[in-house]
Amino acid sequence: MTSSAQPSTTLTVTPCTDRERWDASVKELGGHPLQLWGWGELKSAHRWSAERVLVSDASGTTVGACQLLTRTLPGPLGGFVYAPRGPVVARDERDPDLPAAVPAPGEVAEAVATWVHGSRKAVAVSIEPDEDAGTFSLGEKWREAKTLVLPARTLILDLRKSEDELLADMSKKHRQYIRKSGREETMEIRPVETLAQLDECLEVYRETSERADFGLHEDSYYHDAFTMLGDDAPVWAAYVEGKPVAFLYMAKSDRTAFELYGGMDETGQRLRANYALKWHVIRHMKSIGIERYDFGGLINDGVTTFKTGFASHENLLAGSWDRPGPGYKIWTEGLPLAKKIVRTLRRG
């Protein structure tokens, strides 16, 4: 790690150690919640290290930001450096026919990667930008990663649309189930406000994982996400007779809401509580001014079938890209530890 600024051709990369300044910068730039300070703090408590860098142009204006998570690797490989849904890049909202006022996203990514490779041994700098496929152009030094951490295929709702427009874009079955489950007099949807209430949701999550056969973190991980992200990691649950039957664990920035985890028990399944719950959260995010609701990825399972009924479209993001360093060939050609780390990332 280094604390000194290093210039790119036209951009300067400078570490940021001030949480307030960092989160303000990410939110002002329209960044993803996985780029917020709290997400890096969570990962730092669970076998990673986190650092944050701001990217400025020649005038000193902040035009990009990137939270970097590093996993130490054995011997000469150094570390694997990963930017979940980063880097964050300034958006030019002016007339597209005018000269560009901000650097291209690829320039910001290259400046960050050059800074990393100039400051330590890294087998790769891996980025997964929160940008549409085809809009994030990178230079010849970059390689498309063989394995994604976060799915590039997802569903993102435009919450600037009206509720009627969002409903009209759903499948007929989803509209029916939302209305029916929302009328259940025995069910109440409300925020989860304490760790004790979160533990009740985690019981539901364990039941869901056993039914759907997927792995979970230890409870402390979800507790840490709840406390370290604070208001940026809200949880809602559908309750019947005072007990949660379904829950939805979110992360949010000023622009984007992102689904982290969710599940339901047998009662929740019978009442189709997940339909009313998800629509409740979507409406809440819209009401506080968030523009995008990201369903957290589509991976061709039963949950994906449920998600895709909420809209008539899908989204494809830029995917995962590596800027190789020394040892990259070893890393990509079957190093067992690499595969294990990627699996760990996916579970995260």
* Predicted pLDDT at 93: 56
* Predicted pLDDT at 301: 77
* Predicted pLDDT at 31: 97
CA distance 312 to 49: 39
CA distance 206 to 343: 19
CB 284 within 8 A of CB 321: no
Cα distances from 111 to residues 32, 167, 338, in angstroms, run 19, 42, 25
Question: At residue 283, what is the residue type?
Answer: R
| Backbone phi and psi for residue 247, each to the nearest 5 degrees, phi listed first | -145, 160
Answer whether the bond into residue 87 is a cis peptide, omega within 30°. yes
pTM, entire model: 0.90
Question: At residue 7, what is the residue type?
Answer: P
Tens digit of pLDDT at every position of the chain (348 positions): 333 444 445 899 999 999 999 999 999 999 999 999 999 999 999 989 999 999 999 999 999 999 999 999 887 788 999 999 999 998 765 445 444 567 788 899 999 999 999 999 999 999 999 999 988 889 999 999 987 889 999 999 999 999 999 999 999 999 999 999 888 888 999 999 999 999 999 999 999 999 988 889 999 999 999 999 999 999 999 999 999 999 999 999 999 999 999 999 999 999 999 999 999 999 999 999 999 999 999 987 778 899 999 999 999 999 999 999 998 988 887 665 665 666 666 555
Dihedral angle computed from the Cα positions of residues 194, 276, 218 and 122, in that order, rounded to the nearest 10 degrees? -110
pLDDT tens column, 307-330: 999 999 999 999 999 999 998 988
Cα distances from 81 to residues 33, 123, 125, 128, in angstroms, run 18, 8, 5, 12
pLDDT tens column, 91-108: 765 445 444 567 788 899
CB 109 within 8 A of CB 143: no
Cα distances from 246 to residues 56, 265, 272, in angstroms, run 44, 6, 9
